Each structure stands twice: as C-alpha cells, then as structure tokens.
Amino acid sequence: MFYFDALRIQLNSKYWMIVIFNLSIISSCKKSIEYNYPKINMNYATTNYHGLDIIDKFRDLENLKDPNVINWLNRQDSLAEKTLNKLNNKREQLIAFQKQFDKNQEFKISWQRRTANGTYFFLKQRFDEKYSKLYFRSSYEVKDSLVFDPSTYKNGTDCKINYIRPDWDGNQIVVSLSKPGKEISELMLIDLKTKKKIFDISSNAAPASLEGIRWLSDNSGFIYQRTPKFKNNDSSYFHNTKAILYTIASKNHKILFSRATHPELNLKPEDFPIVSYNQRDDQYLSGIVAGPTPYADTYYANINELNNSKINWKFLFSKQEKIKKHIYKEDSILFLTSKGASNFKICKTSLKKPNFANPITMIPEKKNEVITSMAYTNHGLFYTTLKNGVLERLFRFSNNKETEIELPQISGRVIIHSDGLHSTYLQVITTGWTSPFKRYLYDFRDNRFIPNDISTNNISNTFGDIQVKELEIESHDGTMVPLSIIHNAGIKMDGSNPTLIRGYGSYGSSIKPTFYPSTITWLKEGGILVYAHVRGGGEKGNDWYEDGYKTAKPNTWKDVIACTEYLINKGYTSKDKTAILGSSAGGILMGRAITERPDLYRVAIGDVPSMNMIRSEIGSNGSNSVKEFGSVKDSIEFRALLEMDSYHNIEDNTRYPAVLIASSYNDYRVPVWSPAKFVARLQEATISNKPVLFSVDFESGHSTGNNKMKMYQKYADFYTFILWQTGHPDYQPE
C-alpha cells in the first residue's frame, strides 16, 4: 500500500505537526529517553504521474541551499550524537578495538602497484597519520622511499591521495588528490628520476571512478576522464564528461572522445565516453559509452589514430551483446559475455571481421559457477569462477587444455591482473570472510605462488573460533537464495543472538567474501553476521541480476525477508534480536524490508541509503540511475519505482523498528535529501516508541574514503545502536 496522505491533508487542512515522541526504550533499558525530533516546515507538493497524484509532504528537504533545511540536518545530527553518547561510552570501546586490530598490522597499505620491471608504488598510512603517503620500492626486498606526502601540498591544504598510477617502466607516476568529502580530483605528475613535480594538470578529473589513468605505450602521456565543473548537488553532476589525452612534453590536453567531438554517435549527456587502453602491447583503443550498468556500447580505433585531429571510432559491439570484459590479442578479440549464457562464457572473434552472433567459444558456460574475470599472459588465458557468490576458483587455459590452479588458501574472492600478453607473472589477490588479503605473483615456470605483500601484519590467517556456514534457502517464489552466516563457535540456537543481516542486490554486483576488522568487532560482542546474496546482484549470473532489475526489483527485498524468516525459524535469532543494514542502493533492500515487514526487525541501519526512488532521477547524477532502476517518464517503470520507494511506502500508526541512518551532505550519488525525507516521514509515522535517528556528515561524500577514524566511528555507531536496541546489558543508557 502506497502512502499518499490525502486523508491527512483533508483533516488537517494547511496545518501541520511533527509528532514529538516520548519513547520508552525496551524493557531491559535502565532509563527511558525522550526524543524531541526537530521540526521542519512542510509545504505539500503534489505531482501527477501517469494519472496518479503523488503527495510529497517533505519536498522542501530537497532544497539543500535553504538555511532551514541545513539547520534541520544539523539538529538531526546533534540529536543522534547526543543519544549515542549516552550509551555507557561503549562506542569508544568499539573504536578502540578496531584501532587495536589495525595497529596489529603496523600500517595500512592501499593502491599497491607493481610495474613489469618489478618496481612497486603504494600508499601507506601509519596508525597515527591522518592520510596515506606515497612510497616507492625499486624492488620487493628494498626499503620504502617516501615519494610524496599530501600534507606538504600547497602549504598544507587538507587533501588526500585517492588514486595512483605509475607508467609502464616505473619512472613517472600520476597522483590524484581530492579534498575531504570530494570525489573530483586534481592530477599531478611526479618524475622519479628528476624528482620534478607537475602540478594542476587537471583540477576536475575523475580517475578512480571512471576507468582510471591509462598510460600510452611509450610513456609520453596518459588518458584520463575530465568532468565539467559543478557543485555536488547539481542535477547535471557528471554530465558531459570527456576522455582526454595529456601529452607531457607539450602539456597539451586533447579530447579523444566526447559528446561534442562525436555527435554522430548520439551520446546522451549522462553517458561516460571512456577511452580504455589496458595493455602496453595493445594496437587498439576502446571507446566505451559507459554508465552504471554491466554492459556498454563499445567502439575501437587503431592506436595510431591518436595522432589524428579526431579519432574515427568504429563500432565494435552493442550492450545487447552483454559483454562484460574484452581483450585484444593481435587481430582478434577475446570477450566475456552472458549472451545466451547466464553464467558467462569466454569467446573469440576476428577484429577485422567480427562475428559476435557466432563466435568461437573458448570456455563454455559452467552449470553451477559464474565466470567472473579473465586475464591474458604469455602463458595463456587465466580466468576465475564463482559459486553462489562465496567460493572463487582460478583456472588456466593453454593449448586447448583447461587446468585448475590450486590457490595457497581456500578463497571466497580472487582478483587477478596481468600486465599484458607478454607478462611473465600473473598477479593474484585472495581474501575471505575470515582470511585477510594476501597478494601473490604466480610463477608459470614453477607453478608456484610467490608472496607479494608490501605490508606485514600480526593478524592470524585463520580464526579457528569463527564458523562460516554457506547455505541456500527458499525465497517467496521457490527460488534458492545463497546465505552466508558467520558466528562464533558454540553459539546456542535459542533465538538470543543479536544478528545483523546485510545485502545489496543492484547493478549485478556480488557481495564476495572479504575480510574486514569491523566483522571481528561485531563477532567479539557475540553478534551473528549474515550476508543475503539476493537477486539484483551477480552471485548467480546475469539472470540473477535481471531478476532484481527495474520491474523485478521486489525480488531483492522479498529475498532478504525470506532469509530473515529462515534465521528466526532456525533459532539463530528472533524478531527482537534482528537488525538489517543496507548501503547506497542497498537502502532499497533495507527500506522496503522494514516497510513491508516491520514486524521482522528490531533495528534497521542505513548507510548513505537510497530511499526516495521516484525522485532519484532529479538528484545528483540521477540520469544515470535511470539505467538501473527506471524512469518516472515511463508508466510501467514509474510503478516499479514507486514500489521500491521506501519513503512513499511508510504508513501511519505502524510499529516500525528502531532506525539509524547515516548520510553525507556532499554525497552526489545518493543526495542527502533522499534519506532525510525518509527519516522525517518515519519519525512522524511510527508508534513503536523506538528511536529514529539521522546522522549527517557535513565533510564526507558517498564514502569515508581512506579516513580510518571515520570508518571506525561509523561502525561503532552502528553496532552500539543495534546492541542497545536488541537489549545487550552492556549497551544501555546511563
């Protein structure tokens, strides 16, 4: 049932009131807390969609330039902070535990890059440092050399390194710098031989999120993505981006691919025209019309066309071919596709006379596993497979023979990378729910894995007191949904365990097993952590993705509801001990689960969640969300968006769970007003006497990036709130 609130308008006329709750906390609490939720003026907005009037009570919250809205956000944040501060200082203890856990690693390593000649570049952040610094090693065995400290940049301007990319020979490196909470970057170039730095190459680049930096084969320049200048809440955020070639000697910026330079290709403003050049020995460039979808229309051009005034992009394949990745090999193209093979297959066709309708099949589709990635070296083709989203394996295909490569440890996630067709090593990263990240070089000559981690740590490789169960449970329509359950050994199946359920289910992205210190923190407090691999993700291939896409989106939250019921029925937890968490597009899963089945959950957590889907199209970068979720301009897709809109599915006088939403003012992907409207509506509608809190970070963007302290605090807040509301005796207000 959708919320239109016409009856309330008739009864209250133009008058409005936000209900002030006197909440009595759960019976185990030592002391009740009174919440005076901040008020905001409500000017009702009515929009007619395909003959249906939708009333939007909190439309005013979309105006982020309004001082009243900013004041309301500040007061909501203050209320959340004040409330959580009353919880016996347990937040600080959880932060301290995460700190100590990281401290055992000595330092954090990120963006580790190894060039073909064996040089290493990486970001390293010591425990007491605010941001990471850039370091270099001429070989694996030598000591680190500091290359760049962001605190020295522009008289101490507060900025962080968010991306690095060395050239093919390790003599130069591009460094991407961004201010806290911003995703748009400034590019600088460092020459390792002369120590010379070239500043301000571009002040509006987006290297990390849009393909990254791609060096030319002779290291004379690089390709990057440039965005127009805009403000974070501009509805045209990320419109009309351009692929740029920067030539170092001339300091010239040349547009290679854009809507303006190639009008004949009919690009839309929201499309991302990206130029890809991934292997040094490639003779071809790829022009990709990208967006937040797994597949894209793709063109190609000979590398020599970089010398022309305009690249003549030739059509290669359309997004209907469902090609996830492609590799050029001489005059052939190898590609990973789900067309006619939901679990993907690897095929080959001629580049001069491509035949995507009848290509040569190199690796056929596998029945119970999804082919997830591939890389080519001088020792053949390597690829990975994934079963149920939780078990990934590595294979080699050479001389028409397929061989599985035994990994150093059982891994839920495997990442592979090659430097090209002439690579002498395959770079491999493994991790799992309880297995920290490990980097290796796979040596073809001896068929062995060589440790390749820059960092050393004191974290055990295994956690014998932690159990992981991988199950499949039946959903509402009989579909079997993978479920990962992580808990301490010896738990009692009596329904007394606080249980946190996480899910995503969008863009075909799989939740693969990955090691996080926050997981150990939650288990330390006796919690159970559960990952529901719902439809809309890629855990079971392309069909699994499409079964949670646009009009099929209800399967996403109905799957997580079925998983919740299973956990309760089997005694892992109970309704009074169950929490659900959704991040970003996972906010649809969380929000619709608690609005459809509020009785199943004691607590709900939203981390920069999407909550107001029929308005997502007008938000920052909203045009791109249409590709995944649909447009209100289409009558059928509008109905689907309304169904997945958590804000408009809140009903009055309903007992909703306790809710904590964390959002960011500078978030361009999910504008802060989307969860803000949900919070305002829920605060007035719920009669459960459970808190509805809204934490707003005015400095961060869609993520906290590499700011460790903010990450510690965020998870400490989430866990403290859940344990408080599920009755843990150590987490009650003083």
Predicted confidence (pLDDT) per residue in 170-223, tens digit: 999 999 998 877 778 899 999 998 889 998 898 888 866 667 899 999 999 999
Angle at 515 between CA 509 and CA 518, to 5 degrees: 105
Token representation of residue 645: 């809109």
Question: Edge-to-edge, what's the strand order for the sheet holding 448-451?
Answer: 413-417, 425-432, 435-443, 448-451
With a cut of 90, say whether residue 410 has pLDDT above it.
Answer: no
Q: Cα separation of 436 and 122, whole Å?
A: 18
Q: Cα separation of 597 and 581, whole Å?
A: 15
With a cut of 60, say whether residue 321 has pLDDT above it.
Answer: yes
Report residue 2: phi and psi, to 5°.
-90, 155
Q: CA 533 from chain center: how many Å?
A: 15
52-56/107-114 β-pairing: unpaired
Q: Which residues pair with residue 521 across a beta bridge?
A: none
Predicted confidence (pLDDT) per residue in 611-631, tens digit: 999 999 988 777 888 989 999
Token representation of residue 472: 């499949």
Counting residues of the chain whose pLDDT is more than 70, the rounded percentage is: 91
Q: What is the mean pLDDT of the chain?
A: 88
Where does the pLDDT of residue 531 fall: very low under 50, low under 70, confident under 90, or very high at 90 and above?
A: very high
Neighbour-count burial for 500-510, b at 16+ CB within 10 Å, e otherwise: bbbbbbbbbbb
Where does the pLDDT of residue 24 fall: very low under 50, low under 70, confident under 90, or very high at 90 and above?
A: very low
Region 646-665 average pLDDT: 96
Region 448-457 average pLDDT: 82
Q: CA 223, 228, 230, 234 torsion: positive or negative?
A: negative
Region 597-612 average pLDDT: 97
With a cut of 80, say whether residue 12 has pLDDT above it.
Answer: no
With a cut of 90, say whether residue 476 has pLDDT above it.
Answer: yes
Predicted confidence (pLDDT) per residue in 71-91, tens digit: 999 999 999 999 998 887 788
Beta strand residue intervals within 475-589, DSSP E: 480-488, 499-503, 528-532, 578-583
For helices 708-725 and 517-524, angle between their N-to-C axes, nearest 10 degrees: 30
With a cut of 90, say whether residue 692 has pLDDT above it.
Answer: yes
Query: What pLDDT shows up at residue 126?
Result: 79
Query: What pLDDT shows up at residue 422?
Result: 78
With a cut of 60, say whether residue 104 has pLDDT above it.
Answer: no
Indicate the Cα dihedral angle 601, 592, 670, 679, nearest 10°: -60
Where does the pLDDT of residue 11 fall: very low under 50, low under 70, confident under 90, or very high at 90 and above?
A: very low
Token representation of residue 439: 């980097």
Where does the pLDDT of residue 5 fall: very low under 50, low under 70, confident under 90, or very high at 90 and above?
A: very low
626-633 CB contacts, 8 Å cutoff, 24+ apart: 626/270, 627/291, 627/292, 627/293, 628/292, 628/293, 628/506, 628/507, 628/549, 628/550, 628/585, 629/550, 629/553, 630/550, 630/551, 632/49
Where does the pLDDT of residue 263 fall: very low under 50, low under 70, confident under 90, or very high at 90 and above?
A: very high
With a cut of 70, say whether residue 526 has pLDDT above it.
Answer: yes
Q: Using the 8-state DSSP alphabet, how is residue 402 labeled? A: E
CATH code, 6-99+461-731: 3.40.50.1820
Query: What pLDDT shows up at residue 106?
Result: 64
Region 655-673 average pLDDT: 92
Which of 260-274, 420-434, 469-483 comes out lowest in average pLDDT?
Answer: 420-434
With a cut of 70, say whether residue 704 has pLDDT above it.
Answer: no
Where does the pLDDT of residue 14 fall: very low under 50, low under 70, confident under 90, or very high at 90 and above?
A: very low
Query: What pLDDT shows up at residue 19?
Result: 31
Contact of 433 with 483, CB cutoff 8 Å: no
Among candidates 323, 282, 318, 322, which has minimal Cα distance to 301?
A: 282
Counting residues of the chain whose pLDDT is more than 90, the rounded percentage is: 66
With a cut of 60, say whether residue 332 has pLDDT above it.
Answer: yes
Query: What pLDDT shows up at residue 3?
Result: 31
Contact of 165 with 215, CB cutoff 8 Å: yes
Query: What pLDDT shows up at residue 100?
Result: 72
With a cut of 70, say whether residue 125 has pLDDT above it.
Answer: yes
Query: What pLDDT shows up at residue 437?
Result: 86
Region 482-500 average pLDDT: 94
Query: What pLDDT shows up at residue 496?
Result: 95
Query: What pLDDT shows up at residue 721?
Result: 96
With a cut of 50, say whether residue 40 has pLDDT above it.
Answer: yes
